[in-house]
Amino acid sequence: MVVTKTAPSPKELVRSVLPARTHPETDRLVMESDAWIRRTTRPCFGDDAGMEKFLSGRIAELCCAMLPGMPYPVLRPICDLFQYIVVIDDAFGDAGRVGGSVHGSRRVVAQIMAAVTGWDEVPATAVPARDAADRLRPHLGEARWRRFVVDFEDMLDGFLIEVATRGADGLTDLASYAERRRVTVAMKWFLTVAELGHDRPLAEETATDPELRALREVVLDHLWLTNDLYSCAKERRDGEYISLIPLLQRLEDRSFKDCAAWIARRVGEQETLFLDRTAALSHGRLAEDPGLPGYLDNLAHTMSGPLRWSPGTRRYQVPGGPDAPR
């Protein structure tokens, strides 16, 4: 199977109809969160160059594009935690380090969960998780915090699935792959913190309503489809190729270009489904919750943010690709 090493051009493939903007204090948040990464996560990197390469991707900028209406005091720890999660995801994706061992990865997951829940002393690689979680927890309230912990652990379980199945072609259908990617895209926890809205949080009974749970699945599908569309060249370069594109090539004998176009169409379909469902929610029984408009806006930008950010980030650029710097 021949896989093209260039990323598909977003200008040719995706025509998003979702609202898109970034946080008014993006520059400040990126600067402060990057300084936090340098101060707290050095033990997670093999060397300083690796850390600087990570920071060149401007991950915090993505967070600001996904929650542009979130108050600064809340978004600050979210940016830090979001960046730390990507650091850990990258470490698990490196078969030459902890990602090469299922048992080693399980130990790291246990240490991170001990850090997030404040259970015990943790190693330097997990201290950033405790610091960010301790600053985020007061904003969530206890009921939302408990759901956050479950979602966070679910995310880490997804990382372990990817470590355990690296190089395996066990998935034989798109439905099974989609079910797995809703977990491994690692964003359920983010949709929970997004419930804080803009100035009014979502009520607990609204947050756990089946209609909103179904809407979150639409968002998760949009997120992993977008991620697979833009990250495939980077993952191929790094030897970590968990993506829908090679699965489509293997199952349906499609060309790389056809695969990318197919995914782009699915992204558009998820946007249409999302807009239809949010319109119904805005006029339905849940509309009485004053926190609903802010939450729906956060979800819309959580979807549009990666589409806005992915084409320009150095993280996904591969030399010779259509979006590489000239």
Query: Does residue 85 sit within a domain?
Result: yes
Secondary structure letter of residue 196 according to DSSP: G
Query: Does residue 283 sit within a domain?
Result: yes
Domain of residue 157 covers 20-309
Rounded distance between C-alpha atoms, residue 287 and residue 93, angstroms: 42
Confidence band (pLDDT; 50, 70, 90) for 270? very high
> How many residues belong to the chain?
326
Query: Does residue 1 sit within a domain?
Result: no
Least Cα distance to 93 among 160, 188, 39, 151 occurs for 160
DSSP H or E stretch at residue 144 = helix 142-164
Query: Does residue 221 sit within a domain?
Result: yes
Total-model pTM = 0.91
Number of domains comprising the chain: 1
Check: CB of residue 148 under 8 Å from CB of residue 134.
no
pLDDT of residue 167: 65
What CATH number does the domain containing 34 carry? 1.10.600.10
Query: Does residue 4 sit within a domain?
Result: no
User: In whole angstroms, what separates CA 292 from the centre of its chain?
Assistant: 22
Please give the mean pLDDT across all residues of the chain. 90
Q: Summarize pLDDT for 278-314 with one digit per residue, the tens.
A: 999 999 999 999 999 999 999 999 999 999 999 889 9
Least confident segment among 1-10, 124-133, 189-198: 1-10
Query: Does residue 230 sit within a domain?
Result: yes
pLDDT of residue 101: 93
Query: Does residue 73 sit within a domain?
Result: yes
Query: Does residue 288 sit within a domain?
Result: yes
Q: Summarize pLDDT for 88-121 with one digit per residue, the tens.
A: 999 998 888 898 999 999 999 999 999 999 998 9
